[in-house]
Amino acid sequence: MRFDAGLALSLLFFAALGVTVVRIVLRPQREPASRIAWLIAVFAVPVVGIVAYLLLGEARISAKRRKRYRAIEAHLPHPHEKAAVRRGLARTAYAAPFALAETVNSLPPTAGNRARLAADSNAAIREMVDDIDNATSTVHLCFYIWLADENGFRIKNALVRAARRGVRVRVLADALGSRGFIRSAYWREMQGAGIDARVALPIGGLIWTLIRGRFDLRNHRKQLIVDNRIAWCGSQNLADPEFRVKPRYAPWVDIMTRWEGPVVRDCQFIFAADWESEHGDDISDLLVDGAEPPPAADPGIAAQIVGTGPNLRYAAMTACFVSLIHAARRELVVTTPYFVPDEQLIFALLDCARRGVATVMILPKRNDSLIVAGASRSYYADLIDAGVRLYEYRPGLLHAKTMVADGEVALIGSANLDRRSFELNFENNILFMDKGFAGEIRTRQDSYLADCDAVTAQDVANTGMPRRFWRNLLAMLSPLL
């Protein structure tokens, strides 16, 4: 029987098409709109669609890494119950966001925390360097982007100084976001000084990526933990505000917070899980409950860590944002550089404004991602129609990720209001309740508003049809990401 190459290729193609369609339909944790979008893409341009789905369609990590995550979660010690803190929060209107956040990492809310807001990006770097220079036992650092610029060097030099005086320094930098720094002599300098520097989520070649999972599943966290008693959390990368790799959009405007108290141990928990996932040593002895109880007259800040990623069974970060939006009673103010919502987030924001909550959103006027900028603006008409007050920040790229409800509760950290943060990235945020510190974040948001242009219904109405078509097309394609 003569071999028919054309028939064999046809059979192979239809088999690949059938397998891809089955995978799309069976994929868990996906909105119906996402499945439909992928099915349309695969049937419209089959070869491109199949390859694209294999590369981008599933937020999967390798079975080996999943097994490692489960083992790490099983052996890391979790904190004891904080029943008194939970009971106190239960008496407020904001119990739901904290209860939901606890399901993510099994880290309960803590009390007796203290926090400080850095004046700006450069001040945050200076204060982090001071904390590293005063470290006596351990320094743990995990950041998405690390650039070889002045601020990047300041952190690097401080880490080297700490290691040379005997402090145990452990460093994680994302393989994609910090690729230039990881490949540089500065990385080798740190290792030569005794720093245990590891690459988070290493990237292989194309074939290995198809086997292992998506190359764009990234460790987007931004945190520094010093001596198990100080933690930094926020939106800032280890870089100058001028962000010289994308100077056109500078300055990058970020927000960083410095924490002391029991919440630091929970930041350490997130780092320990990341560290062991990259084959670092066991640091679980640092996770014991050791923070001093607060004075009776000073309950401090109630705070809770939320560490999410594609290893979780559901889109936990989305759920936490949405829960806080639903909890807002009088006012909700949000800043995010990247706004590509899923259905539950956009409906939560619309409903928030419609039920009479003063809802304000601040986005960058100039975004370093034209695709994200277009998709974001496709939602402007619906948001304004629902009563959301929209503003665009002029001076640079507003990179701060903040959400403040009623001037009392806030959620800050590394996560954006986009599908990448919700489904693909490992993120770290802090949910907290305290009128004083939430008020400081709210005041910082007002400083952003002072440099904003309001987006009006007339502005949206004046948008031409070609531009509206392009923006809506980008939003329609966003479930493919």
Q: Which residues are known to be catalytic?
A: 220, 222, 227, 399, 401, 406
What beta strand segments (E) does 252-323 contain? 252-253, 256-260, 301-308
- Please report, in angstroms and rounded to a whole number, the separation of the first and last CA atoms in the chain: 45
Strand, coil or helix: 45: coil
Percent of the chain as helix, strand, coil, to the nearest 5: 50, 20, 30
**Residue of 204, 190, 194 lying closest to 146 (CA atoms):** 190
Strand, coil or helix: 74: helix
Q: Are 175 and 182 in contact (CB under 8 A)?
A: yes
Question: From residue 259, how far is each of 28, 118, 128 by CA, in Å?
Answer: 36, 11, 12
Pairing between strand 138-143 and 168-174? parallel
Taking the C-alpha atoms of residue 68 and residue 449, their distance in angstroms, rounded to an integer, is: 44
**Residue of 309, 307, 270, 292 lying closest to 140 (CA atoms):** 270
**Residue of 134, 130, 126 lying closest to 167 (CA atoms):** 134
Q: What is the DSSP letter of 421?
A: I
Kindly state the tokens that stand for 404. Answer: 């403040």
Across-strand partners of 433?
Answer: 302, 409
Residue 181's contacts (CB-CB under 8 Å, 6 or more residues apart) are 146, 147, 148, 152, 173, 187
**Greatest Cα pair distance in the chain:** 90
262 upstream amide cis, omega within 30 of 0: no
**Residue of 343, 306, 355 lying closest to 419 (CA atoms):** 343
**Residue of 155, 144, 463 lying closest to 309 (CA atoms):** 144
Q: Are 233 and 223 in contact (CB under 8 A)?
A: yes
